Structure 1
Amino acid sequence: MRLSFLEPLYAESGPFASVYLDTSRDVEQPDRALALRWRRLREDLTRQGADRALLGVLEEAVGADAEVPGMHGQAVFAANGSLVLDGELPQPPARDSARYSTLPDAMPLVAQHLPEIPYLAVVVHYRGLPTAETHGWVRVEAESGTWPASTVSPGERLHFDGEVASWHRNAARLGHRLDSWARRAHADAVVVGGDEWAGNVLVRRLPHAVRGKVVRVGGHTPTDTGRALLEPQLAGVFRGRLAEHDRDLVNIFIGRRALGGPATEGLEATVAALQRGQVLALLLNHPPAASLRLWTGPRPTELALAEEELVSFGVRAPREEPGGEALVRALVGTSAELVVVPEDELGLDEGVGALLRYADHSSDRV
């Protein structure tokens, strides 16, 4: 998973206010419920030292996603009197939270973007007899996205309407458009729902490469919900699955580990690799536990397990921070990726490892 969407966040200096809250609209009196939630968080931030200007910026942003229907949440970050990042959450946070701290609390936002699978969703409906010379229509809706974040932030959408009688011919043309689109989006899957006959015609006319990515789904397929196209079906297709790009990184790691190539495991060795900007991709069996703490300095690569280590590097007044915050900053600051892989697929020493950009022969283990 690439973390470039967080770059604006780390372009700012702290301290940061990080707010996560449930902004769902499928509750009774949603505006009143949101106001009560925000009031509690505002009081919490005030106790932590946030000033009025910063609170005012946050208040303008909180609830600005009212056009998003259904269950969802919001992650809002501000620093130095300005809004830095406003992100939609496909699921409400487990609990509302507000933190005013040196580093932004970005790991919960990252966790809601995982596994970040690019896809193309297609719904095909028709009315009339497939053999009819006249009358009847075929309607196609297609949408690109990255699951699960696109649940509440859908991508580009295509609309097509045509006659049933010319559907075989139009399906071939549309198939080539979808093929080009899937390539541009680096789609791992093309998820197709809707009516069986019209959908089958389209699938059979897709170019071979993209046809191999097709996943057919059933169930109700509304196209005007304001949410992602095929939202319920997407969860069934992608839950528990890694993005193909991440799967490739995992396979490279496994190969390098077997051959003694540039890869490392364990928290101490991985933190040392992050200090050197050596990490191409950080591999975790699960997001960092709340108990993990790391010492940090002003720069992304200034992180360590012990205060004395940073002091020996010349860092003045290191600060102890939540490990997840320090790790995300280090990854974004060094353009490294993140892969969370289940332990039953790849067990890692202490649940952490790294695919390295190069071998460091001065270290004991690479």
Structure 2
Amino acid sequence: MRLSFLDPLYAAEGPVASVCLDTSRDIDDPDRAIELRWRHAREKLAAEGADRATLSALGGGVGADRDVDGPHGQALFAADGQVLLAQELPRPPERDTARYSRLPDAMPLAVQRAPDISYLAVVISREGPADAGPGAGPSGEADSVVASLQAGRWPASTVAPQPVSSYAMPAAQWQQGAVRVTEAAERAVRDHGSEVIVVWAQQGDPWPRGVFVNRLPPELHERVITVDGEEPPRAAPGRALLEQDLANLLDGRLGDRDRTHFDRYLAQRSRHRASCEGMAAAVRALQRGQVQALFVNDQPGPSPARLWTGPEPTHIALSAEELEAFGAPAVAQEPADALLIRAAAHTGAELVVVPYEELALDDGVGALLRYTTPAP
């Protein structure tokens, strides 16, 4: 996963206020619950020195996702009275967090965006009487085929969905008319780089989906995953089409690019583990701009680890003495997560969130190196 979406956070000078809140609306009186959560966060930020203008800017954004249904959260960042970044979280955070410090608390947001798989969701259903073939239903009335397409990136688009494109035509015209839908699907795949095409059809009525899939270019067939259901899915307000099916298919899965990085990391790890796994190895590599992809496990909750830093993103070390030896002025301790992701974003490294069950990393962190050097 590329980290360019975090760039606005690192353009700010001075301390940043970071907030992650549960803003779910599947409870009684959600506005009151969100107000209480924000009050506690605001009090903590104020106690840590956040100025009134910055708190006011954050307060204006908290709860602005009221059009999003169901469980979710918000991540907001502000400095000098300006909101730097505000995004919906696909899942409520494990716990609400608020921090005012020299660095944004960006790792929770980044981890929630993983695996960042680009997909195209397609729902093909019938309206009116339906049978297993083209034409009319059992009563003799003509039925129609309705196709809905929505591109997205999983899981961020769960709560920030793209527009849906819909096409409807008489079933008798579907054999020919499906070409228009497949052309739209091709454009969406090309424009969004969709790795997966998830196609829904009604149980017992596979014919409309079969026509659509068969008219896709052969090179896209291997990206198609088919799913079935009894009733055509309807997305809740502010939620993605085929959300549950996408969760079943994509949660815990690595995207194509991340999988390539992961396979290369495993090969590198088998030869140079001391140079690419664990906190010390990751810190050394980030100091040199040597990291192509930073790996972290998906364990919830903040890391208790702290590292030392100076003014520059690559001023990162296990001890103050090490940084001072590099000539870094004004060293200070900061949470390791915040320093690791800032250094990764600054040096162009990507982030790969690895399920703990698939590979438990030493200290929960590893690095795919652009080049290898002997471990000291």
TM-score bracket, normalised by the shorter chain, equals: over 0.9
Correspondences of 1:252-331 after superposition (within 5 Å)? 252-258=264-270, 264-286=276-298, 290-331=303-344
What's 1:77 paired with? 77
Structure 1: where are the runs of 5+ without partners? none
Distance 1:356 1:99, change over 3 A: same
Question: Residue type of the partner of 2:160?
Answer: S
Query: Which one of the candidate residues 210, 214, 221 is aligned to 2:220?
Result: 210
Greater mean alpha carbon deviation, residues 74-83 or residues 224-233: 224-233
Residues in 1 aligned to 2:30 and 2:364: alpha-carbon distance in whole angstroms:
40
* 1:261-299 deviations in Å (ceiling 9; x for gaps): 9x7233222211101111111123345962211101111
Aligned to 2:209: 199
Q: SS at 2:228's partner residue?
A: coil
Q: Any conservation in 1 of the 2:111–2:298 contact (CA below 8 Å)?
A: no
Tell me what 1:132 maps to.
Answer: 135
Native 8 Å contact 1:120 1:143 kept in 2:
yes
Letter in 2 for 1:216: T
> Shift of the alpha carbon at 1:5?
0.8
Residue range with higher mean Cα deviation, 263-272 or 158-167: 263-272
1:236 aligned to 234, 238, 248, which one? 248
Paired residues of 1:141 and 1:223 also in contact (CA < 8 A): no
Shift, 1:343, TM fit = 4.9
Spell out, residue by residue over 1:83-134, the C-alpha distance to the aligned partner (whole angstroms, 9 max, x if none).
1000100111122221111111111111111111111100011134543278
**Equivalent position of 2:18 in the other structure:** 18
Provide the residue aligned with 2:181 in structure 1.
Answer: 174
The Cα of 1:358 is off from its aligned counterpart by 2.9
Over the aligned positions, Cα root-mean-square deviation in angstroms equals 2.2
TM-score, L = length of structure 1: 0.92
SS at match of 1:321: strand
Aligned partner of 1:123 in structure 2 is: 123
Q: Distance in 1 between matches of 2:356 and 2:40?
A: 37
Work out whether residues 283 and 340 of structure 1, in 8 Å CA contact, stay in contact via their aligned partners in 2.
Answer: yes
Partners in 2 of 1:221 and 1:302 — Cα distance? 54
Kindly tell me: are residues 75 and 347 of structure 1, through their superposed partners in 2, closer, same or farther at Cα, counting changes over 3 Å? closer
**Against the structure 1 CA distance between its residues 32 and 259, is the aligned structure 2 distance closer, same or farther, given a 3 Å change threshold?**
closer
Residues 150-172 of structure 1, C-alpha deviations (whole Å, 9 max, x = no match): 10011243211111111011113
Q: Residue type of the partner of 2:153? A: T
Which range moved further: 70-79 or 21-30?
21-30
Which amino acid letter does the alignment assign opposite residue 251 of structure 2? R
Structure 2 counterpart of 1:132, one-letter code: G
Moved over 6 A (4+): none
Matched, 1:145 2:152: yes
The one-letter amino acid of 1:8's match is: P
| Count of matched residue pairs | 363
Alpha-carbon separation, structure 2, partners of 1:56 and 1:351: 36
Secondary structure (helix, strand or coil) at the match of 1:55 reads helix
Is the 1:295–1:319 contact (alpha carbons within 8 Å) kept by the matching residues of 2?
Answer: yes
Q: Residues 196-248 of structure 1: CA distance to partner in whole angstroms, max 9, x if unpaired?
A: 33122211222112121111112344335221000111110112211111001
- Give 1:234's aligned amino acid: L
Letter in structure 2 aligned against 1:364: A
> Does residue 56 in structure 1 map to residue 68 in structure 2?
no
CA distance in 2, matches of 1:281, 1:340: 10
Q: Tell me, in whole angstroms, the C-alpha distance in 2 between the residues paired with 1:147 and 1:131.
A: 34
Q: Does the C-alpha gap of structure 1 residues 285 and 31 become closer, same or farther in structure 2, counting only changes over 3 Å?
A: closer
* Identical columns (%): 48
**Given the superposition, is the C-alpha separation of residues 308 and 63 from structure 1 closer, same or farther in structure 2, using an over 3 Å criterion?**
same
Secondary structure of 1:245's aligned partner: helix
- The answer to whether the 8 Å contact 2:124/2:145 transfers is yes
* Residue of 335, 347, 353 corresponding to 1:334: 347
Paired amino acid for 1:168 = Q
